[in-house]
Structure 1
């Protein structure tokens, strides 16, 4: 017997509706069913449901997907409870049909430097444009696709480099606002290209340090750290019986180990949607407001999902959260009552369990921190 899909589908008509809404449908999964067959089935059940005939891309559970994807693979990955949305809800004009004029508007930025062949290449990046995570935080963002095209153009013709870099940097929400990640069903990693563009815009102002300079700097850092030891204080976080979420960010493969230790600590594992999203670390230098907004969105997602404690995988991200916590709260306009622990501290700590007496069971995680690190 084939599984039953529980579908929550997006409805909106700009001519008649003030706000979008959802309707529920139950569909039996057929063996050779594709994603576009799901859309056709919903339309048969409700004629008000609409979707584009060309450039058919849309979201299933937040991931951008095309109409030819096999549903059996989607179900294997995402389960049988599925939500269907347009690739950009704010640009929906009728159901999954969107006003996609912004796609070609972004192309106009680089049109003076591009050939017909470049235009055809850009059109293949249509889904990438609408899968941008950055656009979720800034609707004026020019899109990842145009940045990828810019890198291609500069690689092919370095003489246009400065003009192209200026075009994609000012005055829009653009290159320096991009912390690259996308929401494609089959993710594409253009991180290296984006970072290379950023380095072109803001090259190093100093010569590359020599080996001795680097070595001397390391010794200086170690000496400074040693001298600060006496200034350190101990922060104690008790996690026994609390609800704990784990923020992995860009790191994969450690979730099971963390969750296992949470259970060992007699605590409850809390899942939240942004557990594997980026949180603005790479934007801190160029756009603090956007960086704080992304950080706050992650922290509030964990908090609103029920977490009392958040374990943070990457030390640099943990430090960003802690060092900028007041600014993060101020930017989002909410108090974030959430205790933070780094993954390293959490995993290195011992779980102490009292023998034969549950009341004596206690798990405490201790972190040495400098007084000025918060």
Structure 2
């Protein structure tokens, strides 16, 4: 079958900023004929080569390996060398906005200062912590089953797409972020690792896994399909399994959710808030009162109960690790 190359006209709004010269960022507009074989990186190249040689961005391998060319297209983190222009147009239409992963960290156009990313990545000890014989007689073998437990977390290319797509990172400077947590899981799952501090570091409120808001954006934008939110969930489970999860709003929310399902087979949202917040529930009382008067909060005796409670309790008992 003959391969046909198609073209279409696309308008681009391109973020521009030079930290050494500009007080505020601005946008340049371009209109181009884009072919069905081009990726986003081709557009960045054409802007630089054909329109403005001062336009700056990072690129290297062009094969989705180095992670250097990650930017945002219409607010969505993407790896420029991997994303087809056809897919971008199909998703967003014929008007695209090209921006750096983090506008507030821009140094020159698409180039950002990723120091916060690397600092948080380093903070989780992204390496095997163990005593190593300087002259071992043989390599330290890892079985296929143990290697499988890493769950492809070692495929991360540190592009930062998930990190700068994360809303928790945007509002909380202390939060480690999904890429760091994926790295933490990768080494926590390594049978050779003996770190005594990594798991406790990701257990801390403010910086740790309990501040993840479960938006799943990191899963959506990861170019290597590593599923950072899945690794965060596994760290949650490991903390519960090892009895290291401390009582806080996030952990009580997990436990309260299970209690609610185990009790009635359905979620008691009002009871879940009460269980999670504890005495701090008083701060929600004005909103709760308004919801109650509008019939949005059912009384406990009004909640339905599942007809399959035996099956539900069996599932909860066999699957949950969330407990104190």
Q: TM-score range by the shorter chain?
A: 0.5 to 0.7
Rounded to whole Å, the distance in 2 between the matches of 1:215 and 1:88 is: 40
Which residue does the alignment assign to 1:260? none
TM-score by length of 1: 0.52
The Cα of 1:218 is off from its aligned counterpart by 4.0
Q: Is 1:49 matched with 2:55?
A: yes
> Is the contact between residue 113 and residue 160 of structure 1 (CA under 8 Å) also seen in structure 2?
no
Q: Is 1:19 matched with 2:44?
A: no
Which residue does the alignment assign to 1:70? 84
Which residue does the alignment assign to 1:121? 154
Structure 1 pair 216/146, CA: closer, same or farther in 2 (3 Å)? closer
Q: Is 1:58 matched with 2:58?
A: no
Structure 1 pair 26/108, CA: closer, same or farther in 2 (3 Å)? same
Rounded to whole Å, the distance in 1 between the matches of 2:156 and 2:262 is: 50
Give the alignment partner of residue 167 of structure 2, picking from 133, 148, 155: 133
Which residue does the alignment assign to 1:184? 221
Which residue does the alignment assign to 1:7? 12
The Cα of 1:122 is off from its aligned counterpart by 7.3
Q: What does 1:151-230 align with in structure 2 at a 5 Å threshold?
A: 151-157=185-191, 160=194, 162-170=196-204, 173-180=207-214, 181=216, 182=218, 184=221, 189-199=227-237, 200=239, 201-202=244-245, 217-218=263-264
Greater fraction strand: 1
The Cα of 1:24 is off from its aligned counterpart by 1.3
Aligned residue pair count: 236
Structure 1 pair 122/91, CA: closer, same or farther in 2 (3 Å)? farther
Which residue does the alignment assign to 2:182? 148
| Coordinate RMSD, CA, aligned | 4.4
Which residue does the alignment assign to 2:145? none
The Cα of 1:9 is off from its aligned counterpart by 0.6
TM-score by length of 2: 0.59
> Is the contact between residue 11 and residue 95 of structure 2 (CA under 8 Å) also seen in structure 1?
yes
Tell me the alpha carbon deviations over residues 48-85 of structure 1, each in whole angstroms, 9 at most, x when there is no partner.
32111341110101111122222112212221111111
Tell me the alpha carbon deviations over residues 110-160 of structure 1, each in whole angstroms, 9 at most, x when there is no partner.
337537xx9x93751423333323222224422211111111222223874
Rounded to whole Å, the distance in 2 between the matches of 1:123 and 1:218 is: 41
Q: What does 1:167-316 align with in structure 2 at a 5 Å threshold?
A: 167-170=201-204, 173-180=207-214, 181=216, 182=218, 184=221, 189-199=227-237, 200=239, 201-202=244-245, 217-218=263-264
> Is the contact between residue 201 and residue 208 of structure 2 (CA under 8 Å) also seen in structure 1?
no
Structure 2: runs of 5+ lacking an equivalent: 1-5, 61-67, 130-149, 301-324
The Cα of 1:94 is off from its aligned counterpart by 0.3
Structure 1 pair 188/83, CA: closer, same or farther in 2 (3 Å)? farther
Structure 1: runs of 5+ lacking an equivalent: 226-280, 289-319, 329-338, 341-365
The Cα of 1:192 is off from its aligned counterpart by 3.2
Rounded to whole Å, the distance in 2 between the matches of 1:216 and 1:52 is: 51
> Is the contact between residue 122 and residue 146 of structure 1 (CA under 8 Å) also seen in structure 2?
no
Rounded to whole Å, the distance in 1 between the matches of 2:261 and 2:119 is: 49
Tell me the alpha carbon deviations over residues 298-343 of structure 1, each in whole angstroms, 9 at most, x when there is no partner.
xxxxxxxxxxxxxxxxxxxxxx9xx949679xxxxxxxxxx99xxx
Structure 1 pair 66/170, CA: closer, same or farther in 2 (3 Å)? same
Give the alignment partner of residue 31 of structure 1, picking from 30, 36, 56: 36
SS at 1:49 equivalent: coil
Rounded to whole Å, the distance in 2 between the matches of 1:285 and 1:198 is: 19
> Is the contact between residue 51 and residue 95 of structure 1 (CA under 8 Å) also seen in structure 2?
yes
